[in-house]
Structure 1
């Protein structure tokens, strides 16, 4: 794979903007809608027009896409505006049709990435293509599945590869439609530092009001760009209306984003950062010590429960703790999402520790 420091050969080869912006409707609905969106996006920072042609809906009966006719609309928009085009493919038939209609960017959706069999079939259908192929994270938080999908494509001599972070499904929805789980894409960057990484804030947010903050976070984490669902009349969209924005809103977002420098050579900056990181190191060690002490108490509780033949899981106690910690977290300006995830992890480890008795 190419060196990311060159900002990705395929970005340069297509003369694409940085950060890269892929935008367009969740679903292609009508020819007029696709063309009007493309015309409006032509005057933004958008380089690639996206539109869903086939929509993998969670439950039957929802709008599942217009099918092949939508590819004709994309091709027409491409010829009129000069924008590259992108769509999701979920099987070899989709791949064949997309290639025949000169689609420039093909992506594998979150529901596709979870299946190595399907990914392999798509990879073989794309073998040797010079198209850009992007892989969304699987719906479940599994880094190995995400990496495996990328590797299957790479082994078919597909060199213009990238990843899309669209968040991970959770049973309990609090702030986001799909939890970002930022550590997983950070781990992906560590494993494959030369792989371009884009953010899909629309699917993470599920709510257009959160998109700007998500995009800024992605830039702060050195992402290469975004895929943002954009529609001329979002509230009238046939799918995912709440998370889509207008082209003018997109322009406002990209205009106000701040691209941070990766590093500063200022001595003051370096010294201040080193000092603060040293404090974090000390605090982290204290945190581990406190967690170890807590688990020691948990083991004692486990021994008492075992002696009296009492069940390990006490749902009422857990609910009391979680609500109390959420409130304490708020007082320290810690998000409810973070507190719940943190204490769920502690709770799971506590159960594991108690099982030893």
Structure 2
């Protein structure tokens, strides 16, 4: 069950509801949005109904949610959520391009890649300072220095930055430098990390785990929302299947299902989904046609020299041409660029 508070509800009104719930052995999780404050209830719904919560001061209405995920369910927010990342918006009524280097390798490489993203019309920069890799011998990122370089790129381009955090202990550090926090595919079910970013005052991009069902993905988002942060962008980045000819299998049907199930924006990462530069463009165009709310693209000035995922990285020239195609497709489908 979810309690939706009125726009003029006071902190005392919110606490009164929470206290009533706790009195019958339930738990109450408060999420403060830009319009409404909502309170997710965990426990015996029959006991909650007996509390007559909808007649308490400050309460607008109650919602009985039949899904295992409550706070992110579409039934809670019939109107899709728009997530603001710095000066940019990601939502169902626009189309957003996010682009930049997969990993920050050096000042020169990152600045060149981010300038290319800006020139191509990206609204948000992406770049990895902390890189969880399959092999312990692979490049793991520049850490704090990478965050500093991303901040320099933001200052140069004027675009907000999203970057990955991999350890709950680093959430505060990354949040100091980034405009949004990314949870990567390998950490989608790192529940302590999800709780930590849920408590941070930054938007979160949550990538789908490469072996996760849609429900598991949305339940991971629920961990974040339950801690009070409903500014979540979901990212479909491909799932592992039996097919070896691509790095992963891009699940555009899953993307569409997620949009039906949740009020959160859902974007697509065709770079990591396919792992091959020649496939990034076709899958990005397909994502627009399927109704994705945006795409996230890797760009590198010299992909052959990349320390991370070079085979999937677009060159600046590639990105410029693809972005023009995506704008034309989005415009034809009535989706203005963010």
TM-score > 0.5 by shorter chain: yes
Once the two structures are superposed, the pairs formed by residues 189-338 of structure 1 within 5 Å of their partners are 189-192=259-262, 194-257=263-326, 258-259=329-330, 260-261=332-333
**CA distance 1:220–1:129, shift in 2 (3 Å):** same
Question: 2:56 is matched with which residue?
Answer: none
Structure 1 unmatched runs, 5+ = 264-357
Q: Which protein shows a greater Rg?
A: 1
**2-structure distance, mates of 1:153, 1:12:** 16
Runs of 4+ in 1 over 4 A off after TM superposition: 1-6
In the alignment, structure 1 residue 53 sits paired with structure 2 residue 112: no
RMSD: 2.3
Higher relative contact order (CA 8 A, sep 6+): 2
Shift of 1:107: 1.1
**2-structure distance, mates of 1:145, 1:45:** 33
Q: Which stretch shows the higher mean deviation, 73-82 or 165-174? A: 165-174
Q: Is the 8 A contact 1:26 1:240 kept in 2?
A: yes
Matched position secondary structure for 1:228: strand
In the alignment, structure 1 residue 135 sits paired with structure 2 residue 209: no
Report which of the two has the higher share of helix: 1
Question: 1:160 is matched with which residue?
Answer: 231
The two structures have a TM-score, normalised by structure 2, of: 0.70
Total equivalences in the alignment: 255
Matched position secondary structure for 2:99: strand
**CA distance 1:140–1:104, shift in 2 (3 Å):** same
Q: Is the 8 A contact 2:83 2:265 kept in 1?
A: no
Matched position secondary structure for 1:21: strand
Shift of 1:185: 2.2
Q: Is the 8 A contact 1:130 1:159 kept in 2?
A: no
Q: Is the 8 A contact 2:82 2:89 kept in 1?
A: no
Match of 2:250 among 163, 180, 183: 180
Matched position secondary structure for 2:238: coil
Shift of 1:262: 7.2
Question: 1:149 is matched with which residue?
Answer: 220
Matched position secondary structure for 1:56: coil
Shift of 1:109: 0.7
In the alignment, structure 1 residue 109 sits paired with structure 2 residue 180: no
Question: 1:14 is matched with which residue?
Answer: 87
Matched position secondary structure for 2:304: helix
Shift of 1:37: 1.9
Structure 2 unmatched runs, 5+ = 1-71
Shift of 1:13: 7.6
**2-structure distance, mates of 1:54, 1:204:** 20
**CA distance 1:55–1:99, shift in 2 (3 Å):** same
Match of 2:194 among 120, 123, 127: 123
Shift of 1:4: 7.9
Q: Is the 8 A contact 1:127 1:158 kept in 2?
A: yes
Question: 2:48 is matched with which residue?
Answer: none
Shift of 1:128: 4.6
In the alignment, structure 1 residue 72 sits paired with structure 2 residue 148: yes
**CA distance 1:62–1:136, shift in 2 (3 Å):** same
Report which of the two has the higher share of strand: 2
**2-structure distance, mates of 1:76, 1:241:** 23
**2-structure distance, mates of 1:227, 1:109:** 13
Matched position secondary structure for 1:254: helix
